[in-house]
């Protein structure tokens, strides 16, 4: 498959740029830097959209605009949390009004498939439209569906992406589970010291995938592999080696490894062990100090990898250990809560 275009909205000024001036946040919470939505969405529609819908729709529209595509063959979205803000509004009103005289708008817009539906409505797209809600595999499920449709030649292009938001309520609830660091000076210090917890994040990213090259693609999307709750690091190594062997390459053919280290000493232990073994001597980069941790954070990593291959430059803010070689093949390894493990392989066209 080929990535014809990629667009992302994140806690970094990533909309239309490749992390030239990264933002540094104080504390343990990263919220998106939102663009001027009026450039991509009808202002009359913006007023009726919640924040996550605006983020997802804007990323999708910018992706289509970049590739000069008017109508994708399909729209596929992945989200773990859905439209949290609208869900909170509906539940709050239900309690306040004692389940009487409820307006349906917040409920209608709180469903997980709202982002994909809004994109289709704006495009007047009546093609295949699906949303996957598979926790830490939500984005990966969307991509697998997109690849399957393209391989079976049901359509020539697919718009696939992910969106998850962070609200005040969700941040408080997740903080109770001890997911986030309590004492952290800034996002830049995420990997300093060995401590529990990470930093909260959010974001939206969309990709236009095609079965055939266009001549101006970002990268070639070679493969995706997921595995669930591996027993130990040895099983992870076997999965990585098997994934690379399936694509007839080895670690020596990989120019850059992007890992999902999130600053949590327990969850990063896997990455540290791999760095001393299978990833030893490889150019590596991190990304979660830029976007924070959330179930579909791998979409930010894929956006980053596609841009690195297209531009040939590794942003210094990724804290990369590089050999200054232009990356032509990138491996992404990410896990969410050491439960949902994912591998991506991208290469230059």
Q: Domain residues for 237?
A: 219-347
Does position 277 have pLDDT exceeding 80, yes or no? yes
- Please say if the pLDDT value at position 93 is more than 90: no
Residues 244 and 313 in one domain: yes
- Residues 158-174: tens digit of each pLDDT: 999 999 999 999 999 99
pLDDT recorded at residue 319: 76
Summarize the confidence of residues 84-105 as an average pLDDT: 84
Rounded to an integer, what distance in angstroms lies between the CA atom of residue 283 and that of residue 4?
26
- Per cent of the chain over pLDDT 70 is 99
pLDDT at 98: 82
How many whole angstroms separate alpha carbon 310 and alpha carbon 102? Answer: 49
Tell me: pLDDT of 18 over 80.
Answer: no
Percent of the chain with pLDDT over 90: 75
In degrees, rounded to 5, the angle at the alpha carbon of residue 216 between the alpha carbons of residues 214 and 217 is: 80
* Predicted pLDDT at 107: 79
Q: For residue 50, give the nearest of 102, 88, 15, 91 by alpha carbon.
A: 88
Higher per-residue pLDDT: 87 or 77? 77
Residues 203 and 223 in one domain: no
Same domain? For 59 and 182 the reply is yes
Mean pLDDT, all residues of the chain: 93
For residues 196-217, average pLDDT: 95
Residues 237 and 203 in one domain: no
Domain identity same for 157 and 72: yes
pLDDT for 16 equals 73
- Looking at residue 323, its pLDDT comes to 67
Euclidean distance between CA atoms 300 and 305, whole angstroms: 9
Tokens 């949290």 correspond to: 84
- Where among 210, 230, 247 does a domain terminate? 210
| Residue at a domain's end among 173, 192, 210 | 210
**Does position 27 have pLDDT exceeding 80, yes or no?**
yes
Query: Which pairs count as long-range contacts for 41-48, CB under 8 Å and 24+ apart, including other chains?
Result: 41/122, 42/122, 45/122
Indicate if 186 and 302 belong to the same structural domain: no
Whether residues 125 and 167 share a domain: the answer is: yes
CATH number at residue 70: 3.40.47.10
Tokens read off for 293: 């941790």
- Residue 103 binned pLDDT confidence (cut-offs 50, 70, 90): confident
Q: Do 198 and 79 fall within a single domain?
A: yes
Domain boundary among 210, 239, 273: 210
How many domains does the chain divide into? 2
Q: Domain check: are 182 and 233 in the same one?
A: no
User: According to the model, what pLDDT value does residue 346 have?
Assistant: 98
- C-alpha distances in angstroms, 4 versus 160, 215, 302? 12, 9, 13
> Are 77 and 187 in a shared domain?
yes
- Interacting residues of 125 by C-beta distance below 8 A, sequence separation 6+: 71, 72, 75, 119
Task: Please give the average per-residue pLDDT across 149-160, as a whole number.
Answer: 94
Q: Are residues 142 and 205 in the same domain?
A: yes
With bands split at pLDDT 50, 70 and 90, how would you rate the model's confidence at 110? confident
Token representation of residue 344: 């991506």
- 236 and 337, same domain (yes or no): yes
CA angle 71, 77, 82 (to 5 degrees): 135
Confidence class for position 47, pLDDT limits 50, 70, 90: confident
């Amino acid at each position: 498959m080929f990535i014809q275009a990629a667009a992302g909205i994140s806690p970094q000024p990533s909309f239309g740029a490749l992390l030239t001036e990264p933002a540094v946040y104080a504390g343990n919470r990263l919220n998106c830097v939102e663009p001027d939505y009026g450039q991509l969405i009808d202002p009359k529609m913006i007023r009726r959209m919640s924040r996550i819908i605006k983020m997802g729709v804007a990323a999708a529209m910018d992706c289509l605009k970049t590739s000069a595509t008017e109508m994708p063959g399909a729209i596929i979205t992945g989200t773990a949390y859905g439209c949290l803000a609208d869900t909170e509004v509906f539940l709050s009103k239900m309690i306040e009004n004692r389940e009487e005289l409820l307006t349906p708008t917040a409920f209608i817009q709180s469903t997980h498939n709202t982002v994909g539906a809004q994109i289709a409505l704006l495009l007047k797209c009546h093609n295949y439209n699906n949303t996957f809600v598979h926790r830490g595999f939500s984005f990966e499920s969307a991509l697998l569906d997109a690849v399957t449709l393209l391989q079976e030649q049901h359509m020539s292009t697919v718009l696939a992406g992910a969106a998850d938001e962070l609200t005040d309520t969700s941040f408080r609830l997740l903080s109770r589970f001890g997911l986030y660091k309590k004492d952290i000076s800034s996002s830049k210090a995420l990997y300093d010291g060995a401590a529990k917890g990470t930093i909260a994040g959010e974001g939206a990213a969309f990709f236009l995938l095609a079965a055939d090259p266009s001549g101006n693609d970002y990268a070639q999307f070679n493969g995706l592999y997921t595995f669930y709750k591996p027993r130990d690091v040895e099983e992870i190594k076997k999965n990585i080696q098997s994934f690379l062997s399936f694509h007839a390459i080895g670690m020596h053919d990989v120019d850059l490894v992007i890992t999902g280290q999130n600053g949590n000493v327990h969850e990063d232990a896997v990455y540290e062990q791999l760095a001393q073994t299978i990833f030893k001597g490889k150019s590596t980069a991190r990304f979660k100090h830029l976007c924070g941790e959330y179930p579909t954070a791998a979409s930010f990593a894929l956006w980053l990898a596609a841009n690195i291959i297209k531009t040939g430059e590794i942003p210094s803010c990724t804290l990369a250990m590089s050999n200054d070689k232009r990356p032509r093949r990138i491996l992404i390894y990410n896990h969410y809560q050491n439960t949902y493990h994912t591998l991506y392989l991208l290469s230059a066209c």
